[in-house]
């Protein structure tokens, strides 16, 4: 695994736990975690259960005992690492968004296609697909329970940047992150809508806004949040993204991604309305799905809460007795399960790098639309 921050902890949990609950056809071994700071990455290795640590990802990729490379670094390094790993014959799992630009994502997808011809697999980590309630929503749509999809609303709402004196992190720098709320969390909203509905976003019209334009520089002497510091740097990404998308069926979808929605901590909300019913999902209530069956008599209509903890629900058979909740970390175990099964079967894991490239094109189209004044913009250019 290359990288060991927030996502490093989450992915480590997935690799460590999945083989202990699921009967996997291959046994993942957590060999090496890689980071730039030798002391910090050694501590991460000990804490999360990796056998050893290293500071040179190129040397690790060249090793014969490494079969899989898991990339959890900032977006500006994804393309170089993933392409090198694929060319070295390693299966690759790469965090989302796939890259910082469409050109980088295209290069990664081309490398993945060449590698696939040699039996080398690749996958992008849109983990929320693997929250059982979200997967179950997809199953209901696929079974026709919602009928014709007519309208979609998707929001990803956070407030962790509310404090204007919060430090300038890499997520607020375009050269490191590619974009702000749009790519960081908006990418999840787009992918989850497409996954649940089975439809693609084909054109968009949107606007991006940076609410706080400069922040304290990180480094020695930076105080706690709320402490005004003299040295400040520019925020070069968006804080808020609002856009409309037309899906491949012709239906309209509205999207919002923000890290300034006061009081919302991690609210990924998807509501899909069809001719026969509707579903509503909120990540802050991740074990629940609301379902509306419009075919019932008028006296019985209304959204009903489904507790998605039955063993017949997606991914849940190996876990706890009915009613015992899962958490954020379980999606990463499910990601490992699907990735390892695909490698063993010799099949293409999903979402593929090609799927990640499509999401990158959607993000780029939103940026172009915002620059052009919210003009309708195709995602295939």
Peptide bond into 97 cis (omega under 30): yes
CATH of domain 129-326: 3.30.360.10
- In angstroms, the Cα distances linking 239 to 83, 89, 108, 313, 354 are 30, 38, 27, 36, 27
pTM of the model: 0.95
Cα separation, 128 vs 20, whole angstroms: 21
Q: Residue 381 has what pLDDT?
A: 72
The DSSP output letter for 184 is I
* Domain residue ranges of the chain, discontinuous segments joined by +: 6-128, 129-326
The DSSP output letter for 230 is S
Answer yes or no: CATH 3.90.850.10 is held by domain 6-128: no
| Average pLDDT along the chain, 381 residues, taken 10 residues at a time | 97 98 98 98 98 98 98 97 98 97 98 98 98 98 98 98 94 94 97 98 97 85 48 96 98 98 97 98 98 98 98 98 97 98 98 98 97 91 72
* Tokens of residue 373, six digits: 């004044």
Q: How many residues does the chain have?
A: 381
Q: Residue 222 has what pLDDT?
A: 43
Helix ranges (H only) for the chain are 6-21, 38-48, 57-61, 78-87, 102-116, 132-142, 174-177, 181, 187-197, 330-345, 353-371
Q: Residue 219 has what pLDDT?
A: 65
The angle that helices 330-345 and 6-21 make with each other, rounded to 10 degrees, is 60
């Amino acid at each position: 695994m290359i990288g060991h921050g927030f996502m490093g902890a989450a992915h480590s949990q997935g690799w460590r736990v999945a083989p202990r609950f699921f009967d996997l056809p291959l046994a993942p071994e957590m060999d090496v975690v890689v980071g730039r700071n030798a002391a910090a990455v050694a501590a991460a290795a000990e804490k999360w259960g990796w056998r050893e640590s290293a500071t040179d990802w190129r040397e690790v990729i060249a090793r014969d005992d490494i079969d899989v490379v898991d990339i959890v670094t900032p977006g500006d390094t994804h393309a170089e690492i993933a392409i090198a790993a694929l060319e070295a014959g390693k299966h690759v799992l790469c965090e989302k968004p796939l890259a910082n630009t469409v050109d980088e994502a295209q290069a990664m997808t081309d490398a993945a296609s060449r590698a696939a011809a040699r039996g080398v697999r690749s996958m992008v980590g849109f983990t929320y697909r693997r929250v059982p309630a979200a997967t179950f929503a997809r199953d209901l749509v696929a079974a026709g329970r919602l009928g014709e999809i007519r309208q979609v609303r998707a929001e990803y709402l956070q407030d962790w940047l509310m404090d204007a004196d919060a430090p300038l992190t890499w997520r607020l720098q375009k050269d490191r992150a590619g974009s702000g709320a749009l790519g960081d969390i908006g990418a999840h909203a787009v992918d989850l809508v497409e996954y649940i509905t089975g439809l693609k976003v084909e054109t968009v019209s949107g606007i991006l806004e940076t609410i706080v334009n400069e922040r304290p520089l990180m480094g020695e002497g930076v105080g706690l949040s709320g402490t005004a510091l003299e040295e400040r740097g520019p925020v070069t990404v968006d804080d808020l993204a609002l856009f409309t998308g037309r899906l491949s069926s012709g239906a309209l979808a509205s999207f919002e991604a923000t890290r300034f929605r006061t009081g919302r901590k991690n609210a990924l909300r998807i509501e899909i309305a069809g001719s026969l019913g509707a579903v509503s999902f909120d990540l802050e209530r991740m074990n629940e799905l609301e379902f509306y069956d419009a075919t019932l008599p008028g006296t019985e209509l209304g959204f009903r809460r489904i507790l998605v903890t039955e063993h017949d629900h997606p991914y849940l058979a190996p876990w706890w007795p009915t009613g015992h909740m899962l958490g954020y970390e379980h999606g990463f175990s499910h990601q490992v399960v699907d990735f390892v099964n695909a490698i063993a079967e010799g099949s293409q894991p999903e979402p593929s790098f090609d799927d990640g490239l499509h999401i990158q094109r959607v993000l780029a189209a939103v940026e172009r639309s915002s620059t052009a004044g919210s003009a309708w913009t195709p995602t295939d250019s």
